[in-house]
Structure 1
Amino acid sequence: MELAVLAISIVVLLAIRVPVGLAFLGPCLIYATSTGLSSGYTLSTAFNGVNSFPLLAVPLFIFVGVLANKLGIADRLFEFCLAGLSRVRGNLAYVNVGTAVGFSWMSGSALADVAGLGKIQIPAMIRAGYPYGFASGLTAASSLIAPIMPPSIPAVIFAAVATVSTGALFAASVIPAILMAVGLIVYIVIWTARRPEFTSVPFDARRFGKATLNVLGPLGTPLIILGGILFGLFTPTEAAAVAALWMLILGLFYRTLRFNLIWTALKETAVITGGIMLILGAAAVLGLILSRARVSESVASLLTGMTDNPLLFLLMVNVLFILLGMVIDATAIILVTVPVLLPVAMEFGIDPIHFGVIMIMNLMLGLLTPPVGSVLYVTSSVTGKPVDVVFKGIMPFLIPLVLALILVTLFPDLVMFLPRALGF
């Protein structure tokens, strides 16, 4: 009964738009103290939930993404893709996905992606004659590649909670992210095939050469992050710090770095990180409560009693995560459900890395769906259009994204191939 009241309290607070961290922390503190736990022990649990060296990578990767936005890296990537794909019919749609893939190696956040690239891509596509729904929907959908492709902030958090290798999870996420991009490209091919009004322009070798030179520096960022981790040169946290330093060097080289820009980037990073860390601390307290109530064992008994088929279990988990992702922040879901569901998944013989990739892909789909749908609101804010109009534009693009999720669920080797090849 007490747990039911706790759950209802959290849901009600989320429904009335209380910040996620506070919506979890308040009821959890009241529950913990009312059941005999000292307030000091409860607060120390919250503190220990964020007192983790691997989690230090989170603010650093956020800082890299914010700097990439502020320094005009998105513009350079956009120009590079546009110059390279000028002869392709409907090229701006392909440029949209290509820029998102390139930017994803630096940001790790769908919100940073859509906020930075949306201001460039959506107006350019509308001026070229693309319908608003298609332009905004594609931009929002392609932004989901960022939190899947390393450096993925949700992956860092999952790895810390599940105590698995961040490098292995980064490597495992590459092919699923590429599948998402390929799915969107296939949809673009089908969509543009019925619209002959979208024509190509001649290829300009000089323009392409200049754009290539301008993008060489930013393209070094994924080499630093993923290359450094996979070849054992850095830990993920060290790679994030080196990437942040590299961004500052690029800003100096391009002469776009200013003190006020650094100050603004630091403030944005602090605000975003503060929200994430509050959720982490609150979820640590909730995890303590669920552990004392032996919820993990109850859920394990329930699920193993329903099926002994690993695939059916994963399909049920997919549905659960999509529903949860529609109403609760992804960070909170990872912290609350991983200690409960990961042991069950391992009983079914499912690799924790495979489970982590499936979980992150599911939760990121929640960014595109109401009522929470953070990417919906950011896209709406960037373009000045109502959220319902944005969602109508996004709906067709959910099809290739869900198909990519199904492939990753059904074929574990798509996820595990790179980690195994790299010796994880």
Structure 2
Amino acid sequence: GMSGSGPADAAAVAMVMIPSMMRSGYPREFSASVIAAGASTAILIPPSVALIVYSLIVPGTDLRALFAGGIIPGILAGVAIMIPALLLSRRHDFGVAEDTQRLPLGPTFIRAIPALFAPVIVLGGLRTGLFTPTEAAVVTVTYGLIIGLFVYRSMRVRDLYQLFVDSAVTSGVIMLIMTLAGIFAWAGATLGTFDMAANALLGLSDNEHVVLALIMVFLLLAGMVLDGISIYLITLPLLMPVMTAFDWSPVWFGVVMAMNIAIGQFTPPVAVNLMVTSRIAGIPLERTIPWTLYLVFSMALAMTLVIVFPQLVTWLPEMLGYQV
């Protein structure tokens, strides 16, 4: 989850893991499904780009509280993916082939410690007030460059130019989306469209659970075709009046939104994570559906727990002294 983006994580992990899983006896369809589902937790586990955008849009929301609030639901989502993956593997005898590429766990983990230290730097710096979220991004990128160039030596100095170009293009796309979404939000607020839409939604029922269920269905459908950042930018101006009307915790609601969007990222027929992993696996997306549905159902149960028990989100931020 270091990229904070589901499709980016899906691509990075699938390139490495799908060949390894095939050597270990896992079919391509199953491998692509599990990796797509696992990559969706990138927008829950810090540092999540979607939660950063949410904190910028919703006034008074503490990014540190959002990051802390996403940890327990992120772990729940991970467990919800692991359990059916394990049960299906045992039921169908996946993973029984000999994998000659297997590495010893201890030395491999020790070698990974420098990379795993990145989120510690981010959360530690935010917690202590050493730097702001924007500065945390700069620190993390600088740390990643140092580790990649001098510790793992997986990058070369001559690779930096293309990396900077790719980063500039990605940043430009995001900034363009945010600019257009800002115009959309301004127009909707000025014309009163969002207030009318919110009143129409509230007019369907005065029961907050019914309204929340309708919002969750809508977000799931949106998550199937759009990335998390776009969904936040487009829907939050509409949903903020509803959130205020029912006095929902902005931290809890932001994490629940992220969890719902994460499910949409690997829910057929249109699923950005699944499109990435299917392409890398060299299979049609339709062949992953029988396996993906198990994972969707299991993660939906985890999201239901987070909705029914908001303390799963709010407990850790409150323990750390953040406003939820």
Q: TM-score, normalised by structure 1?
A: 0.70
Once the two structures are superposed, the pairs formed by residues 14-93 of structure 1 within 5 Å of their partners are none
Structure 2 residue aligned with 1:352, among 250, 268, 279?
Answer: 250
Q: Which residue of 2 aligns with 1:107?
A: 3
Shift of 1:372: 4.3
The answer to whether the Cα contact below 8 Å between 2:40 and 2:262 also exists between their aligned partners in 1 is yes
User: How far does the alpha carbon of each residue in 1:350-382 deviate from its partner, in whole angstroms, 9 at most, with x for none?
Assistant: 111111111122222222235542212211221
SS in 1 for 2:265: helix
Within the candidate set 133, 137, 162, 2:33 is matched to: 137
**1:272 matches 2:191:** no
Partner of 2:44: 148
Shift of 1:200: 9.9
2-structure distance, mates of 1:112, 1:294:
36
1:151 counterpart SS class: coil
- Aligned partner of 1:311 in structure 2 is 209
Cα 1:335/1:372, change in 2 over 3 Å: same
**In the alignment, which of 109, 126, 131 is matched to residue 229 of structure 1?**
126
* Paired residues of 1:327 and 1:371 also in contact (CA < 8 A): no
**Is the CA contact (8 Å cut-off) linking 1:147 and 1:154 kept in structure 2?**
yes
Of 186, 201, 213, the match for 2:83: 186
Cα pair 1:136 1:390 within 8 Å, conserved: yes
Amino acid paired to 1:139: I
**Does residue 244 of the first structure (1) align with residue 141 of the second (2)?**
yes
Structure 1 residue 161: Cα displacement: 0.7
**Residues 198 and 376 (structure 1 numbering): CA distance in 2 closer, same or farther, change over 3 Å?**
closer
Q: Which has the higher contact order (CA 8 A, sep 6+)?
A: 2
Match of 2:273 in 1: 375
Q: How many positions carry a matched residue from both structures?
A: 317
How far 1:127 sits from its partner (Å)? 1.5
Supply the AA of the counterpart residue of 2:276: V
Residue 33 of structure 2 is aligned to residue 157 of structure 1: no
Question: Is 1:287 matched with 2:193?
Answer: no
State the alpha-carbon separation in 2 of the partners of residues 176 and 153 from structure 1. 16
Counterparts in 2 of 1:173 and 1:127: CA distance versus 1, 3 Å: same
The match for 2:234 among 336, 360, 372 is: 336
Q: Counterpart amino acid of 1:373?
A: A
Alpha-carbon distance in structure 1 between the residues aligned to 2:294 and 2:122: 33
State the Cα RMSD in Å: 2.1
Greater C-alpha radius of gyration: 1
Residue of structure 2 in register with 1:168 after alignment: 65
Match of 1:210 among 107, 110, 119: 107
Q: Deviations over 1:154-181 (max 9, x none)?
A: 1111110112111111111111110011
Give the conservation status (yes or no) of the 8 Å contact 2:267–2:296.
no
State how far apart, in whole Å, the 1-side matches of 2:21 and 2:155 are: 29
| CA apart distance, 1:396 | 2.1
- Does residue 122 (structure 1) correspond to residue 14 (structure 2)? The answer is no
How many Å apart are 1:189 and its aligned residue?
3.2
Please give the alpha-carbon distance, in whole angstroms, between the structure 1 residues aligned to 2:40 and 2:284. Answer: 20
Per the TM alignment, residue 244 of structure 1 is displaced from its structure 2 partner at its CA by: 1.1
Q: CA deviation at 1:217?
A: 0.5
CA contact (8 A) 2:33 2:274 kept: no
CA shift in 2, pair 1:188/1:390, >3 Å:
closer
Q: Residues 113 and 332 of structure 1: is their aligned pair in 2 closer, same or farther, counting only changes over 3 Å? A: closer
Distance 1:370 1:135 in 2: 16
Matched-pair contact (CA < 8 Å) for 1:379–1:390: no
Contact persistence 1:376–1:391 (CA under 8 A): no
**What CA distance in whole angstroms lies between the structure 1 residues aligned with 2:28 and 2:63?**
38
Shift in alpha-carbon separation, 1:114–1:168, aligned structure 2, 3 A: same
Q: Which residue of 1 aligns with 2:305?
A: 407
Distance 2:107 2:14 in 1: 23
**Whole-angstrom distance in 1 between the partners of 2:185 and 2:319:** 34
Q: Is the 8 A contact 1:358 1:405 kept in 2?
A: yes
Read off the aligned partner of 1:147 and give its amino acid letter. I
Once the two structures are TM-superposed, the CA of residue 199 in structure 1 deviates from its matched residue by: 5.1
Decide whether the 8 Å contact of 1:115 with 1:379 is kept in 2.
Answer: yes
